[in-house]
Amino acid sequence: MKNNSKLIFFISLTLFFQNIHSEEISLKNYLTNINTMEADFEQSNYSNSNALIDKSIGRIKIKKPDNLMWDIELPFSKKIVLQKDTLRIFDSQLNQLLISSIPMEIENSFLILLLSNANILNFYSIDKIEKDGDEEQFSLIGNNRRNIFEKIEIYITKDKLSKFIFVSATNESIELELMNVLINKHLPDKDFIINVSDNTEIIDQKND
């Protein structure tokens, strides 16, 4: 009887890890097959006591392998563009454009890994998978000390990315909800250009 119990446990464990491996391949392929993405977003930042710190609303655009734009509308207008190894931030309140190299501390951030088509599962391991109707939830745990976040939850609803939750080692978190998501729609390169006026202050730290 004990031997039968051990066998059942072993088979169950084997099937569990086979399922995890299968879902890892599925998630990897899904993320790799996203060439462009455009969506409205609502981002909420929480303290380690889960108190809301701030919230922002806007639109995000991604075009692999080089372009990512955060177009923040509220609480104030700001545009953040990543192109290859260059970061541009336009602050409309200050009428200032900052140009710099991408900081090393964000090189392994989830969205940059997604943009560069890096295998995200080299940096994170799937801890568990939950399915509820049309929604799938992947819970990932970081396996690299350079990761900004210790945990990531990815929600896919009706085959579209719908929400991310990023949790740091200090238990601070960011919740990024995506709405009106468009996958693999044509996005022209001009969508990732920040046009500024002649009187805009330009601070170019990359070429200093």
| DSSP secondary structure of 80-112 | EEEETTEEEEEETTTTEEEEEEPPGGGTT-HHH
Tell me if 181 sits within 8 A of 158, measured CB to CB: no
- The per-residue pLDDT for range 25-83, each reduced to its tens digit, is 677 778 888 889 999 999 999 999 999 999 999 999 999 888 889 999 999 899 999 88
Is residue 7 very low, low, confident or very high in pLDDT (cuts 50, 70, 90)? Answer: very low
Q: Examine the pLDDT at 104 and tell me if it is beyond 90.
A: no
Question: Bigger pLDDT: 198 or 31?
Answer: 198
**Which residues on neighbouring strands pair with residue 43, listed in sequence order?**
56, 176
Confidence (pLDDT) at 107:
53
pTM of the model: 0.78
- What pLDDT is recorded for position 98? 92
Closest CA to 63 of 186, 161, 163: 186
Any bridge partners for residue 129, and if so which?
Answer: 138
Q: Which residue has the tokens 């250009």?
A: 193
Alpha-carbon gap, residue 14 to 82, rounded angstroms: 42
For residue 22, how many other CB atoms are within 10 A of its CB? 11
Q: What is the mean pLDDT of residues 71-96?
A: 90
Whether residue 45 contacts residue 195, with contact meaning beta carbons closer than 8 Å, is answered with: no
Radius of gyration of the chain (CA): 20
**pLDDT tens column, 105-127:** 565 566 666 666 556 667 777 77
